[in-house]
Structure 1
Amino acid sequence: MPEAKADKSAATGAPGDASTIEAIPEGTGTAAPESTASPTRPRRRQARGEARIAQLLRAAADVFCANGYTASSTNAIAREAGVSPGTLYQFFPNKEAIAVELGDRLLARWRDTYGAAFDQSQVEQPLDSMLDAVLDPLIAFNCENPAFAVLMHGSEIPGRITEEHDTLHATMLTRVEAVLAGYLPETPAPQVHRVADMIFMIFKAGLDLIMAHEGEERAAYIRELKTVLFRYLDPLVGDDLPCPPAPTP
Protein backbone atom coordinates (compact mmCIF):
# COMPACT_ATOMS: atom_id res chain seq x y z
CA MET A 1 0.00 0.00 0.00
CA PRO A 2 2.82 2.54 0.56
CA GLU A 3 3.71 2.17 -3.14
CA ALA A 4 0.07 2.82 -4.15
CA LYS A 5 -0.07 5.84 -1.88
CA ALA A 6 3.03 7.33 -3.45
CA ASP A 7 1.69 6.75 -6.95
CA LYS A 8 -1.60 8.44 -6.07
CA SER A 9 0.04 11.56 -4.62
CA ALA A 10 2.31 11.89 -7.61
CA ALA A 11 -0.57 11.53 -10.04
CA THR A 12 -2.81 14.13 -8.45
CA GLY A 13 -0.12 16.73 -7.98
CA ALA A 14 -1.81 17.66 -4.69
CA PRO A 15 -0.91 16.74 -1.12
CA GLY A 16 -2.77 13.72 0.14
CA ASP A 17 -4.48 13.03 3.42
CA ALA A 18 -1.21 12.29 5.14
CA SER A 19 0.12 15.81 4.69
CA THR A 20 -2.96 17.52 6.08
CA ILE A 21 -3.52 15.64 9.35
CA GLU A 22 -2.10 17.83 12.07
CA ALA A 23 -0.98 16.79 15.53
CA ILE A 24 -3.85 16.74 18.00
CA PRO A 25 -3.95 16.90 21.78
CA GLU A 26 -3.91 13.63 23.65
CA GLY A 27 -7.45 12.46 24.31
CA THR A 28 -9.29 9.39 25.48
CA GLY A 29 -7.16 6.29 25.27
CA THR A 30 -3.84 8.14 25.46
CA ALA A 31 -1.46 6.92 28.10
CA ALA A 32 -1.25 9.36 31.02
CA PRO A 33 2.14 11.07 31.65
CA GLU A 34 4.20 9.54 34.43
CA SER A 35 4.63 11.58 37.58
CA THR A 36 8.07 13.14 37.64
CA ALA A 37 9.88 15.92 39.39
CA SER A 38 11.19 17.33 36.12
CA PRO A 39 8.78 19.85 34.50
CA THR A 40 10.14 19.10 31.01
CA ARG A 41 9.56 15.34 30.91
CA PRO A 42 5.72 15.45 30.86
CA ARG A 43 5.81 17.98 28.02
CA ARG A 44 8.17 15.77 26.03
CA ARG A 45 5.95 12.79 26.71
CA GLN A 46 2.88 14.74 25.61
CA ALA A 47 4.60 15.88 22.42
CA ARG A 48 5.58 12.30 21.61
CA GLY A 49 1.99 11.19 22.21
CA GLU A 50 0.61 13.89 19.94
CA ALA A 51 3.07 12.99 17.21
CA ARG A 52 2.14 9.31 17.50
CA ILE A 53 -1.57 10.08 17.27
CA ALA A 54 -0.99 12.22 14.16
CA GLN A 55 1.07 9.37 12.66
CA LEU A 56 -1.74 6.89 13.31
CA LEU A 57 -4.37 9.22 11.85
CA ARG A 58 -2.32 9.72 8.69
CA ALA A 59 -2.01 5.97 8.33
CA ALA A 60 -5.73 5.48 8.98
CA ALA A 61 -6.61 8.05 6.31
CA ASP A 62 -4.49 6.18 3.77
CA VAL A 63 -5.90 2.76 4.74
CA PHE A 64 -9.51 3.98 4.68
CA CYS A 65 -8.95 5.47 1.21
CA ALA A 66 -7.32 2.30 -0.10
CA ASN A 67 -9.68 -0.28 1.42
CA GLY A 68 -12.82 1.59 2.49
CA TYR A 69 -13.85 1.85 6.12
CA THR A 70 -15.53 -1.55 6.39
CA ALA A 71 -12.61 -3.56 4.98
CA SER A 72 -9.99 -1.70 7.03
CA SER A 73 -8.59 -3.05 10.28
CA THR A 74 -6.50 -1.82 13.17
CA ASN A 75 -3.75 -4.24 12.12
CA ALA A 76 -3.65 -2.68 8.65
CA ILE A 77 -3.52 0.82 10.15
CA ALA A 78 -0.70 -0.16 12.53
CA ARG A 79 1.21 -1.74 9.64
CA GLU A 80 0.76 1.38 7.50
CA ALA A 81 1.98 3.53 10.41
CA GLY A 82 4.98 1.27 10.96
CA VAL A 83 4.08 0.46 14.57
CA SER A 84 2.90 -2.60 16.41
CA PRO A 85 -0.82 -3.17 17.07
CA GLY A 86 -0.03 -2.86 20.77
CA THR A 87 1.27 0.66 20.21
CA LEU A 88 -1.91 1.58 18.35
CA TYR A 89 -4.06 0.27 21.21
CA GLN A 90 -2.25 2.57 23.64
CA PHE A 91 -3.99 5.45 21.88
CA PHE A 92 -7.17 4.03 20.33
CA PRO A 93 -9.26 1.10 21.59
CA ASN A 94 -10.63 0.14 18.15
CA LYS A 95 -11.12 1.15 14.52
CA GLU A 96 -14.27 3.12 15.30
CA ALA A 97 -12.42 5.37 17.76
CA ILE A 98 -9.80 6.09 15.09
CA ALA A 99 -12.48 6.91 12.52
CA VAL A 100 -14.31 9.21 14.94
CA GLU A 101 -11.12 11.10 15.82
CA LEU A 102 -10.13 11.44 12.18
CA GLY A 103 -13.67 12.41 11.19
CA ASP A 104 -13.83 15.07 13.92
CA ARG A 105 -10.61 16.65 12.71
CA LEU A 106 -11.64 16.62 9.07
CA LEU A 107 -15.08 18.03 9.86
CA ALA A 108 -13.49 20.86 11.83
CA ARG A 109 -11.24 21.71 8.90
CA TRP A 110 -14.18 21.46 6.49
CA ARG A 111 -16.14 23.94 8.61
CA ASP A 112 -13.22 26.36 8.45
CA THR A 113 -12.90 25.84 4.70
CA TYR A 114 -16.53 26.41 3.78
CA GLY A 115 -16.78 29.25 6.30
CA ALA A 116 -13.97 31.08 4.50
CA ALA A 117 -15.37 30.16 1.07
CA PHE A 118 -18.77 31.64 1.92
CA ASP A 119 -17.34 34.75 3.55
CA GLN A 120 -19.42 37.81 2.67
CA SER A 121 -16.55 39.34 0.69
CA GLN A 122 -16.46 36.25 -1.52
CA VAL A 123 -20.15 36.18 -2.35
CA GLU A 124 -20.50 39.90 -3.13
CA GLN A 125 -19.10 39.41 -6.61
CA PRO A 126 -20.41 38.82 -10.14
CA LEU A 127 -21.63 35.26 -10.61
CA ASP A 128 -18.62 33.86 -12.45
CA SER A 129 -16.14 35.29 -9.94
CA MET A 130 -18.28 34.14 -7.02
CA LEU A 131 -18.33 30.56 -8.34
CA ASP A 132 -14.54 30.53 -8.56
CA ALA A 133 -14.15 31.99 -5.07
CA VAL A 134 -16.57 29.51 -3.47
CA LEU A 135 -15.90 26.32 -5.41
CA ASP A 136 -12.10 26.35 -5.62
CA PRO A 137 -11.38 25.94 -1.88
CA LEU A 138 -14.18 23.38 -1.44
CA ILE A 139 -12.88 21.26 -4.30
CA ALA A 140 -9.27 21.62 -3.17
CA PHE A 141 -10.14 20.44 0.35
CA ASN A 142 -11.79 17.29 -0.95
CA CYS A 143 -8.94 16.52 -3.35
CA GLU A 144 -6.36 16.98 -0.60
CA ASN A 145 -8.38 14.94 1.92
CA PRO A 146 -9.90 11.94 0.10
CA ALA A 147 -10.55 10.21 3.44
CA PHE A 148 -13.18 12.90 4.11
CA ALA A 149 -15.50 11.48 1.45
CA VAL A 150 -14.85 7.92 2.64
CA LEU A 151 -15.84 8.77 6.21
CA MET A 152 -18.75 11.04 5.35
CA HIS A 153 -20.42 8.87 2.72
CA GLY A 154 -19.19 5.30 3.21
CA SER A 155 -21.28 2.43 4.52
CA GLU A 156 -21.12 1.28 8.15
CA ILE A 157 -19.54 4.56 9.26
CA PRO A 158 -19.92 5.30 13.01
CA GLY A 159 -23.22 7.04 13.67
CA ARG A 160 -21.64 10.04 15.36
CA ILE A 161 -19.79 10.95 12.16
CA THR A 162 -22.87 10.66 9.95
CA GLU A 163 -24.96 12.70 12.40
CA GLU A 164 -22.40 15.51 12.49
CA HIS A 165 -22.12 15.41 8.71
CA ASP A 166 -25.91 15.65 8.31
CA THR A 167 -25.95 18.67 10.61
CA LEU A 168 -23.15 20.30 8.65
CA HIS A 169 -24.93 19.52 5.37
CA ALA A 170 -28.04 21.33 6.60
CA THR A 171 -25.95 24.31 7.72
CA MET A 172 -24.25 24.57 4.35
CA LEU A 173 -27.56 24.32 2.49
CA THR A 174 -28.91 27.19 4.60
CA ARG A 175 -25.83 29.24 3.72
CA VAL A 176 -26.28 28.53 0.01
CA GLU A 177 -29.90 29.69 0.27
CA ALA A 178 -28.78 32.91 1.98
CA VAL A 179 -26.27 33.61 -0.80
CA LEU A 180 -28.91 32.92 -3.47
CA ALA A 181 -31.40 35.19 -1.73
CA GLY A 182 -28.90 38.02 -2.12
CA TYR A 183 -28.72 37.44 -5.87
CA LEU A 184 -32.47 36.79 -6.21
CA PRO A 185 -34.17 39.24 -3.81
CA GLU A 186 -37.48 39.13 -5.69
CA THR A 187 -37.66 35.34 -5.91
CA PRO A 188 -40.06 33.53 -3.54
CA ALA A 189 -38.36 31.61 -0.73
CA PRO A 190 -39.65 28.17 -1.87
CA GLN A 191 -38.07 28.66 -5.29
CA VAL A 192 -34.79 29.81 -3.71
CA HIS A 193 -34.83 26.63 -1.62
CA ARG A 194 -35.37 24.47 -4.72
CA VAL A 195 -32.55 26.19 -6.59
CA ALA A 196 -30.25 25.76 -3.59
CA ASP A 197 -31.11 22.05 -3.47
CA MET A 198 -30.32 21.68 -7.16
CA ILE A 199 -27.00 23.51 -6.80
CA PHE A 200 -26.03 21.31 -3.87
CA MET A 201 -26.82 18.09 -5.72
CA ILE A 202 -25.06 19.25 -8.89
CA PHE A 203 -22.00 20.12 -6.81
CA LYS A 204 -21.96 16.71 -5.09
CA ALA A 205 -22.33 14.84 -8.38
CA GLY A 206 -19.65 16.95 -10.03
CA LEU A 207 -17.34 16.45 -7.06
CA ASP A 208 -17.66 12.68 -7.40
CA LEU A 209 -16.47 12.93 -11.02
CA ILE A 210 -13.64 15.28 -10.04
CA MET A 211 -12.45 12.92 -7.32
CA ALA A 212 -12.54 9.96 -9.71
CA HIS A 213 -10.01 11.60 -12.06
CA GLU A 214 -6.54 13.06 -11.77
CA GLY A 215 -4.29 15.55 -13.49
CA GLU A 216 -5.63 17.26 -16.60
CA GLU A 217 -8.84 15.25 -16.55
CA ARG A 218 -9.55 16.43 -13.02
CA ALA A 219 -8.96 20.03 -14.05
CA ALA A 220 -11.30 19.55 -17.01
CA TYR A 221 -14.09 18.24 -14.79
CA ILE A 222 -13.63 21.20 -12.46
CA ARG A 223 -14.18 23.52 -15.41
CA GLU A 224 -17.22 21.51 -16.50
CA LEU A 225 -18.78 21.76 -13.04
CA LYS A 226 -18.34 25.53 -13.00
CA THR A 227 -19.81 25.76 -16.50
CA VAL A 228 -22.88 23.74 -15.52
CA LEU A 229 -23.53 25.85 -12.43
CA PHE A 230 -22.97 29.11 -14.29
CA ARG A 231 -25.35 28.17 -17.10
CA TYR A 232 -27.97 27.07 -14.60
CA LEU A 233 -27.75 30.24 -12.50
CA ASP A 234 -26.99 32.89 -15.12
CA PRO A 235 -30.55 33.10 -16.54
CA LEU A 236 -31.82 33.61 -12.99
CA VAL A 237 -29.16 36.04 -11.80
CA GLY A 238 -28.16 37.92 -14.94
CA ASP A 239 -25.65 40.71 -14.42
CA ASP A 240 -27.00 41.82 -11.06
CA LEU A 241 -24.74 41.93 -8.06
CA PRO A 242 -26.15 40.47 -4.84
CA CYS A 243 -28.03 42.71 -2.45
CA PRO A 244 -26.29 43.33 0.86
CA PRO A 245 -27.64 41.20 3.72
CA ALA A 246 -30.24 42.70 6.01
CA PRO A 247 -28.73 44.22 9.17
CA THR A 248 -28.79 42.00 12.21
CA PRO A 249 -31.25 43.34 14.79
Structure 2
Amino acid sequence: MPVRRQARGERRIGDILDATLALFAELGYDRTSTNAIAARAGMSPGSLYQYFPNKEAIAEALSQRLLDQLRAAHAAAFDQASAASLPLPELVSRVVDPLVAFNVANPGAKTLFGTAAMPAALSAGSRPLHDAVTGRVAALIRARFPGLPDPDVNRAAMVAVQIVAALMGPIVAAEGRERAALVAELKRALVGYLAGSGGSDPAA
Protein backbone atom coordinates (compact mmCIF):
# COMPACT_ATOMS: atom_id res chain seq x y z
CA MET A 1 0.00 0.00 0.00
CA PRO A 2 2.74 2.54 0.83
CA VAL A 3 4.37 1.81 -2.55
CA ARG A 4 1.06 2.43 -4.32
CA ARG A 5 0.60 5.68 -2.39
CA GLN A 6 4.11 6.75 -3.35
CA ALA A 7 3.48 5.99 -7.03
CA ARG A 8 0.21 7.92 -6.90
CA GLY A 9 1.98 10.84 -5.23
CA GLU A 10 4.64 10.89 -7.94
CA ARG A 11 1.94 10.90 -10.62
CA ARG A 12 0.19 13.80 -8.92
CA ILE A 13 3.43 15.76 -8.72
CA GLY A 14 3.95 15.07 -12.41
CA ASP A 15 0.44 16.32 -13.13
CA ILE A 16 1.15 19.52 -11.19
CA LEU A 17 4.42 20.15 -13.03
CA ASP A 18 2.83 19.42 -16.42
CA ALA A 19 -0.02 21.80 -15.65
CA THR A 20 2.40 24.49 -14.49
CA LEU A 21 4.52 24.18 -17.61
CA ALA A 22 1.44 24.53 -19.83
CA LEU A 23 0.18 27.56 -17.91
CA PHE A 24 3.59 29.24 -17.98
CA ALA A 25 3.50 28.85 -21.77
CA GLU A 26 0.01 30.37 -21.99
CA LEU A 27 0.07 33.03 -19.27
CA GLY A 28 3.64 33.54 -18.07
CA TYR A 29 4.82 33.26 -14.49
CA ASP A 30 3.15 36.31 -12.94
CA ARG A 31 -0.35 35.53 -14.24
CA THR A 32 -0.22 31.85 -13.29
CA SER A 33 -1.81 31.18 -9.89
CA THR A 34 -1.75 28.08 -7.72
CA ASN A 35 -5.54 27.90 -8.10
CA ALA A 36 -5.14 27.81 -11.88
CA ILE A 37 -2.45 25.15 -11.58
CA ALA A 38 -4.67 23.02 -9.34
CA ALA A 39 -7.61 23.36 -11.74
CA ARG A 40 -5.47 22.43 -14.75
CA ALA A 41 -4.04 19.45 -12.85
CA GLY A 42 -7.54 18.26 -11.93
CA MET A 43 -7.26 18.68 -8.16
CA SER A 44 -8.32 21.05 -5.41
CA PRO A 45 -5.97 23.80 -4.17
CA GLY A 46 -5.86 21.99 -0.84
CA SER A 47 -4.61 18.83 -2.53
CA LEU A 48 -1.95 20.81 -4.40
CA TYR A 49 -0.66 22.26 -1.12
CA GLN A 50 -0.05 18.74 0.15
CA TYR A 51 2.78 18.56 -2.39
CA PHE A 52 3.99 22.17 -2.75
CA PRO A 53 3.67 25.09 -0.31
CA ASN A 54 3.57 27.80 -2.99
CA LYS A 55 4.13 28.67 -6.66
CA GLU A 56 7.85 29.32 -6.13
CA ALA A 57 8.35 25.75 -4.89
CA ILE A 58 6.51 24.40 -7.93
CA ALA A 59 8.71 26.54 -10.21
CA GLU A 60 11.82 25.23 -8.47
CA ALA A 61 10.76 21.61 -8.93
CA LEU A 62 9.84 22.28 -12.55
CA SER A 63 13.20 23.94 -13.16
CA GLN A 64 14.97 20.89 -11.78
CA ARG A 65 12.98 18.55 -14.02
CA LEU A 66 13.70 20.70 -17.07
CA LEU A 67 17.36 20.95 -16.11
CA ASP A 68 17.62 17.16 -16.00
CA GLN A 69 16.01 16.92 -19.45
CA LEU A 70 18.25 19.64 -20.82
CA ARG A 71 21.38 17.91 -19.52
CA ALA A 72 20.34 14.72 -21.30
CA ALA A 73 19.56 16.58 -24.53
CA HIS A 74 22.94 18.29 -24.51
CA ALA A 75 25.11 15.36 -23.40
CA ALA A 76 26.69 15.12 -26.84
CA ALA A 77 26.43 18.77 -27.80
CA PHE A 78 28.53 19.88 -24.84
CA ASP A 79 31.26 17.30 -25.35
CA GLN A 80 34.34 19.46 -24.79
CA ALA A 81 36.64 16.88 -26.34
CA SER A 82 35.28 17.63 -29.79
CA ALA A 83 34.62 21.35 -29.31
CA ALA A 84 38.01 22.51 -30.54
CA SER A 85 37.95 20.44 -33.72
CA LEU A 86 34.46 20.99 -35.15
CA PRO A 87 33.82 23.77 -37.68
CA LEU A 88 32.12 26.59 -35.79
CA PRO A 89 28.80 26.35 -37.75
CA GLU A 90 28.61 22.62 -36.97
CA LEU A 91 29.39 23.20 -33.30
CA VAL A 92 26.68 25.87 -33.06
CA SER A 93 24.18 23.53 -34.73
CA ARG A 94 25.02 20.75 -32.28
CA VAL A 95 24.23 23.06 -29.38
CA VAL A 96 21.26 24.92 -30.87
CA ASP A 97 19.31 22.01 -32.39
CA PRO A 98 18.68 20.07 -29.16
CA LEU A 99 17.93 23.32 -27.34
CA VAL A 100 15.31 24.25 -29.94
CA ALA A 101 13.82 20.74 -29.77
CA PHE A 102 13.72 20.96 -25.98
CA ASN A 103 11.93 24.34 -26.00
CA VAL A 104 9.47 23.29 -28.73
CA ALA A 105 8.58 20.23 -26.64
CA ASN A 106 8.38 22.35 -23.46
CA PRO A 107 7.08 25.77 -24.55
CA GLY A 108 6.63 26.93 -20.96
CA ALA A 109 10.35 26.48 -20.34
CA LYS A 110 11.07 29.93 -21.75
CA THR A 111 9.48 31.37 -18.59
CA LEU A 112 12.12 29.62 -16.48
CA PHE A 113 15.07 29.55 -18.86
CA GLY A 114 16.46 32.50 -20.70
CA THR A 115 17.37 35.76 -19.09
CA ALA A 116 19.65 36.48 -16.18
CA ALA A 117 17.20 39.12 -14.89
CA MET A 118 14.49 36.84 -13.54
CA PRO A 119 11.77 38.07 -11.17
CA ALA A 120 13.11 37.92 -7.62
CA ALA A 121 10.46 35.43 -6.49
CA LEU A 122 11.51 33.02 -9.23
CA SER A 123 15.27 33.43 -9.02
CA ALA A 124 15.90 30.66 -6.51
CA GLY A 125 14.11 28.10 -8.65
CA SER A 126 15.22 29.21 -12.10
CA ARG A 127 18.82 30.26 -11.46
CA PRO A 128 20.28 26.72 -11.55
CA LEU A 129 18.73 26.16 -14.97
CA HIS A 130 20.13 29.39 -16.39
CA ASP A 131 23.54 29.08 -14.72
CA ALA A 132 24.03 25.48 -15.82
CA VAL A 133 23.49 26.36 -19.48
CA THR A 134 25.70 29.46 -19.28
CA GLY A 135 28.42 27.49 -17.53
CA ARG A 136 28.43 24.75 -20.14
CA VAL A 137 28.53 27.29 -22.98
CA ALA A 138 31.48 28.94 -21.21
CA ALA A 139 33.24 25.57 -21.03
CA LEU A 140 32.76 25.09 -24.78
CA ILE A 141 34.12 28.56 -25.54
CA ARG A 142 37.08 27.97 -23.23
CA ALA A 143 37.87 24.67 -24.97
CA ARG A 144 37.62 26.27 -28.40
CA PHE A 145 39.59 29.43 -27.57
CA PRO A 146 42.08 28.28 -24.90
CA GLY A 147 43.93 31.62 -24.92
CA LEU A 148 40.83 33.69 -24.15
CA PRO A 149 40.89 35.23 -20.63
CA ASP A 150 38.23 33.94 -18.24
CA PRO A 151 36.35 37.26 -17.99
CA ASP A 152 36.04 37.31 -21.80
CA VAL A 153 34.91 33.68 -21.82
CA ASN A 154 32.22 34.32 -19.23
CA ARG A 155 31.03 37.47 -21.01
CA ALA A 156 30.85 35.69 -24.37
CA ALA A 157 28.90 32.81 -22.83
CA MET A 158 26.43 35.19 -21.21
CA VAL A 159 25.88 37.11 -24.46
CA ALA A 160 25.51 33.89 -26.48
CA VAL A 161 22.88 32.59 -24.06
CA GLN A 162 21.02 35.90 -24.25
CA ILE A 163 21.02 35.76 -28.06
CA VAL A 164 19.43 32.31 -27.86
CA ALA A 165 16.93 33.47 -25.23
CA ALA A 166 15.89 36.49 -27.31
CA LEU A 167 15.00 34.36 -30.33
CA MET A 168 13.70 31.25 -28.60
CA GLY A 169 10.22 32.68 -27.99
CA PRO A 170 9.64 33.55 -31.67
CA ILE A 171 11.12 30.19 -32.72
CA VAL A 172 8.76 28.25 -30.45
CA ALA A 173 5.78 30.33 -31.63
CA ALA A 174 6.60 29.85 -35.33
CA GLU A 175 5.92 26.76 -37.40
CA GLY A 176 7.28 25.01 -40.47
CA ARG A 177 9.44 27.07 -42.82
CA GLU A 178 9.28 30.18 -40.64
CA ARG A 179 10.63 28.29 -37.64
CA ALA A 180 13.42 26.81 -39.78
CA ALA A 181 14.27 30.29 -41.08
CA LEU A 182 14.44 31.72 -37.56
CA VAL A 183 16.65 28.85 -36.39
CA ALA A 184 18.97 29.52 -39.34
CA GLU A 185 19.13 33.21 -38.40
CA LEU A 186 19.90 32.30 -34.78
CA LYS A 187 22.76 30.07 -35.85
CA ARG A 188 24.11 32.74 -38.19
CA ALA A 189 24.05 35.31 -35.39
CA LEU A 190 25.84 32.97 -32.98
CA VAL A 191 28.52 31.98 -35.49
CA GLY A 192 29.20 35.60 -36.30
CA TYR A 193 29.32 36.66 -32.68
CA LEU A 194 31.49 33.79 -31.43
CA ALA A 195 33.92 34.06 -34.35
CA GLY A 196 34.38 37.74 -33.59
CA SER A 197 34.60 37.44 -29.82
CA GLY A 198 37.07 34.57 -29.83
CA GLY A 199 39.69 36.06 -32.08
CA SER A 200 41.36 33.52 -34.36
CA ASP A 201 39.15 30.42 -34.50
CA PRO A 202 41.35 27.31 -34.61
CA ALA A 203 38.70 25.24 -36.39
CA ALA A 204 37.04 27.83 -38.62
Say if 2:12 is the partner of 1:52.
yes
Render the CA deviation track for 1:154-201: whole Å, top value 9, x for unaligned: 53543312442453255134213223315xx5x666665665454344
Kindly indicate whether the alpha-carbon contact (under 8 Å) linking 1:180 and 1:196 is maintained by their aligned counterparts in 2: no
CA 1:75 to 1:111, structure 2 compared with 1: closer, same or farther past 3 Å? same
For 1:160-179, list aligned pairs within 5 A: 160-165=124-129, 167-179=131-143
Which amino acid in the other structure matches residue 120 of structure 1? Q
- Measured in 2, the distance between the counterparts of 1:160 and 1:192 equals 25
Partner of 1:143: 104
- Measured in 1, the distance between the counterparts of 2:112 and 2:192 equals 32
- Measured in 2, the distance between the counterparts of 1:157 and 1:57 equals 18
Partner of 1:214: 175
* 1:58 Cα offset (Å): 0.5
CA 1:195 to 1:56, structure 2 compared with 1: closer, same or farther past 3 Å? closer
For 1:1-249, list aligned pairs within 5 A: 41-120=1-80, 122-123=82-83, 124-152=85-113, 153=115, 154-165=118-129, 167-181=131-145, 195-233=156-194, 240-241=202-203
- What TM-score, normalized by structure 1, do the two folds share? 0.66
Which amino acid in the other structure matches residue 203 of structure 2? L
Which amino acid in the other structure matches residue 167 of structure 2? G
Kindly indicate whether the alpha-carbon contact (under 8 Å) linking 1:63 and 1:72 is maintained by their aligned counterparts in 2: yes
Render the CA deviation track for 1:70-105: whole Å, top value 9, x for unaligned: 221111111111222222222222222211211221
* 1:52 Cα offset (Å): 1.1
SS in 1 for 2:74: helix
- Measured in 1, the distance between the counterparts of 2:62 and 2:100 equals 19
CA 1:141 to 1:157, structure 2 compared with 1: closer, same or farther past 3 Å? farther
* 1:59 Cα offset (Å): 0.7
Bigger-Rg structure (1/2): 1
SS in 2 for 1:93: coil
- Measured in 2, the distance between the counterparts of 1:75 and 1:188 equals 49
SS in 1 for 2:145: helix
* 1:107 Cα offset (Å): 2.1
Which amino acid in the other structure matches residue 74 of structure 1? T
Extract unaligned runs of 5+ from structure 2: none
- Measured in 1, the distance between the counterparts of 2:127 and 2:162 equals 19
Kindly indicate whether the alpha-carbon contact (under 8 Å) linking 2:59 and 2:126 is maintained by their aligned counterparts in 1: no
| RMSD between superposed Cα atoms in Å | 2.9
